[in-house]
Amino acid sequence: MPTRIRLQRKGKKGKPYYHLVVADQRAPRDGKYIERIGAYDPNRNPALVEVDREKAMDWLQKGAQPSDTARAILSYTGVVFKNHLQNGVKKGAFDQAEADRRFDGWMSEKAQKVEAKRTGLVDGAEKAFKDRVEAERKKSEDRAATLIAKMNAQIAAPAVEAEATGEAPAAEADAPIAEAEAPAATEGEAPAEA
């Protein structure tokens, strides 16, 4: 029975996630499988990839062939590299300690890359938020300056027209301001007459 390591689609329309399964090659995509060895969720950033390395290694050693996408996932998690190292140990190219040392070095480097991507995404999101807030603040200040300039132009327009015609500005326009500035009469005092 030829076995394949492949993805089994789950989730709803437009939001898929996948189980990494070992199945008979003739079984349908979402049908019966032999064993589930991992999960893959491409909706997250970075994508969630969980693989049981021991089970995956066992199936690769038994001869299960991964599909193209499953091979990429297994390569991302280091299973393909570990299988390659184990085959080197079997052939006598190097010993198990050397294989473990190489694999640990590769895994630490991979973990640093993934963590750098995560921090880069977080930093990028924070920077984008700060830039957006700064742009909104600048736009708000520009609008306020435009409104102030427009209001000053409206206030100055009657005075400029009056000066151009040679007439004195209307006293009625200044009267409400003068009344508002005059101190209010206290209870015991008589109002001052002008």
pLDDT score at 188? 55
Lowest pLDDT segment from 45-54, 58-67, 177-186: 177-186
pTM for the whole thing? 0.62
pLDDT score at 168? 54
Per-residue pLDDT, averaged over 6-20, amounts to 94
The rounded distance, in Å, linking the Cα atoms of 6 and 67 is: 5
pLDDT bin (cut points 50, 70, 90) of residue 178 is very low
User: Does residue 46 lie within any of the structural domains?
Assistant: yes
Per-residue pLDDT, averaged over 157-176, amounts to 62
Share of the chain above pLDDT 90, in %: 57
Number of domains composing the chain: 1
65: helix, strand or coil: strand
User: Does residue 149 lie within any of the structural domains?
Assistant: no
Contact 64, 55 (CB under 8 A): no
User: Does residue 180 lie within any of the structural domains?
Assistant: no
User: Does residue 167 lie within any of the structural domains?
Assistant: no
Per-residue pLDDT, averaged over 138-152, amounts to 91
User: Does residue 183 lie within any of the structural domains?
Assistant: no
CATH number of domain containing 54:
3.30.1320.10
User: Does residue 89 lie within any of the structural domains?
Assistant: yes
Q: Write the DSSP assignment of 95-159 as a string of letters.
A: -HHHHHHHHHHHHHHHHHHHHHHHHHHHHHHHHHHHHHHHHHHHHHHHHHHHHHHHHHHHHHHHH
The rounded distance, in Å, linking the Cα atoms of 91 and 64 is: 20
Distances (CA, A) of 116 to 13, 24, 45, 56, 112: 31, 38, 13, 27, 6
Range of the domain at 65: 3-93
User: Does residue 39 lie within any of the structural domains?
Assistant: yes
β pairing state of 48-51 and 65-66: unpaired
Q: Which of the 8 DSSP states describes residue 25?
A: T
